[in-house]
Amino acid sequence: MKRALYLLLLIFVLVGCKSSRIVDQVQIIHAMGYDWKNGTYTGTAIYPTFKQGPMTKPDILTTESSTTYDLIPRLSSKSALPIEEGQMRLVLFGKAFAKKGITEIVHSLARNNKVGSHLQLAVAKGDAEELLRITAKTTLSDTLYLSNLVEQNIREMNLPNTNLHIFLYNYFGKGRDPFLPYFEKKGNFVKLEGLALFKDGHYVGRIDLRQSFLVKMLLDETKNGVYQLPISKEKQKGRVLLENLYATSKYSLKKGKKPVIDIRIHIRASIRDYPIWLDLPNKESFALIRHQMEKQLNKDISKLIRQFQTKEIDPLGIGDFVRSYTRHWNEKSFYKQYKKLTIRPHVKVDIVQTGIGE
C-alpha cells in the first residue's frame, strides 16, 4: 500500500514539473539580428512557419526601439504566438551595432537561462536585417542556414572554434580579446568572409578566411582547413593548395629586458592541388617546395601578429600566456609593451601525401 502511494506521489510530482510547449503554438526564433540605424536600435528575428507535416518556411519579424532591452518584448507585441528563445542558434550583429558595442546583448544572453552556451554569434558587413532577409528568401526551408554555415566551417575549413561560451571566456579573461565570424552579402547570397575582431566589446576590424586559418592553427591543436601558397622553381611560378591534416602550436617565453615569445608550429598536411610543371615525386623539388612553404607561412604569420599588435588587440591570448609564466602580472603594464614585443613563429611542414596519382 505504501509503495503504491509512493509511486502515485512520484508520478504526480513528475507530471507537475513538466512544462510542455506545442511547436505550432509558439514562435520559435532560430536567429536574431541587431542593428543600429539612424539613431535607433532594430531587432530582426527569423523563425520557421510550419506548414503540412515537416514542411517549414522561414519568416521575419522586425521592430525598433531606443534601447536594446525591450526589442524582444516589442517583437512579441507583433506576434500572434508567444516568442520562444530556447532554440535560438545565431545572433547576428550589424557592423554599425558592433562598432557601437555588443556588451549589453552579450551580458543579456549570458544571463538568459533559455539560451545555450553553444549559441553562435556573428557580425554582418552591412545590416544584420538585410542578411537575414536574404537568407529567408534564398534558403527556402532552412532557418538554420547561417549557424550551420558557421559550424561546418569550424569542423571542416578555416574558422577557429567559436560560440557564446568561447566569446565570454575571451571577453572576460585577462590577456585575450574575442573574435566572431564575419559575413558579407555577395549578390543574392550571404558568404562567410573571415573573422571580426573586438576590443572591449567593440568591433575594431576584420581578417579574411585565409588569415583565419592561421589564427585557428595558432590557437591550438587543429584539424582541417586549407591554405594557398605561392611557389616557384627556376623561372616558373605558381600556387599550391595545402590541406591541413593536423597542426599543433607550442609557445615559449624568454624573459629579460626585451622578452621574446617563440611559437613553434608543426603542420602535417597534404597538397590538394599544384601546377602541372611541379614534379613533386622528385626529392629535390619536394624539399624545395617544403622550404618555400615554411618560409611563406613564417612570413604570413609574422605579418598577422604585427597587424594584431598595431591594432592593440590580442585574439591569440599572448597576454594570457605570459601571465601564466609571470608573477604579479599586470595587464595594463603588459599591453603598454605589447606593440613592441618580439614574437617569432617557427613553422615546420610535413607533407604526408600529395594525391592519388603519387
- Is the pLDDT at 16 greater than 50? The verdict is no
Beta carbons of 234 and 292 less than 8 angstroms apart: no
- Is the pLDDT at 319 greater than 90? The verdict is yes
Provide the strand spans (E) within 3-66: 27-28, 31-37, 40-50, 56-65
More confident residue, 248 or 1: 248
Q: How far apart are CA 180 and CA 150, in angstroms?
A: 10
Instruction: Give residue 333's pLDDT.
Output: 93
Q: How far apart are CA 156 and CA 137, in angstroms?
A: 26
Task: Count Cβ atoms below 10 Å from residue 268 Cβ, excluding itself.
Answer: 16
Beta carbons of 257 and 275 less than 8 angstroms apart: no
Is residue 214 exposed (0-12), middle (13-18) or buried (19+ Cβ within 10 Å)? buried
The predicted-structure confidence for 239-296, as pLDDT tens digits, reads as follows: 999 898 899 999 999 988 889 999 999 999 988 888 888 877 778 878 888 999 999 9
User: Of all residues in the chain, what percent carry a pLDDT higher than 90?
Assistant: 60
- DSSP helix/strand/coil, 310: helix
Comma-separated ranges of CATH 3.30.300.210 domains in the chain: 220-353
Confidence of residue 303 (pLDDT cuts 50, 70, 90): very high
Element (H, E) at 40: strand 40-50
Confidence of residue 131 (pLDDT cuts 50, 70, 90): very high
Distance of CA 316 to the CA centre of its chain: 13
Instruction: Give residue 126's pLDDT.
Output: 92
Instruction: Give residue 140's pLDDT.
Output: 60
Beta carbons of 40 and 27 less than 8 angstroms apart: no
- Establish how many alpha carbons lie within 13 A of residue 74's alpha carbon, considering only the half-sphere containing its beta carbon: 15
The predicted-structure confidence for 227-236, as pLDDT tens digits, reads as follows: 999 999 888 8
Taking each continuous run of H as one helix and of E as one strand, the counts in the chain are 11, 14
More confident residue, 109 or 354: 109
Q: How far apart are CA 235 and CA 282, in angstroms?
A: 18
- Is the pLDDT at 52 greater than 80? The verdict is no
Q: How far apart are CA 106 and CA 201, in angstroms?
A: 9
pTM: 0.88
Considering 68-82, 87-101, 267-281, the range whose residues carry the highest mean pLDDT is 87-101
Q: DSSP code of 243?
A: E
In single-letter form, the type of residue at position 322 comes to V
Is residue 12 exposed (0-12), middle (13-18) or buried (19+ Cβ within 10 Å)? exposed
- DSSP helix/strand/coil, 239: strand
- From the list 350, 217, 203, 197, the residue with the least C-alpha distance to 287 is 350
Cell of 330: 599586470
Confidence of residue 22 (pLDDT cuts 50, 70, 90): low
Task: Count Cβ atoms below 10 Å from residue 278 Cβ, excluding itself.
Answer: 19
Confidence of residue 70 (pLDDT cuts 50, 70, 90): confident
Superfamily of domain 220-353: Nutrient germinant receptor protein C, domain 3 (3.30.300.210)
Confidence of residue 51 (pLDDT cuts 50, 70, 90): low
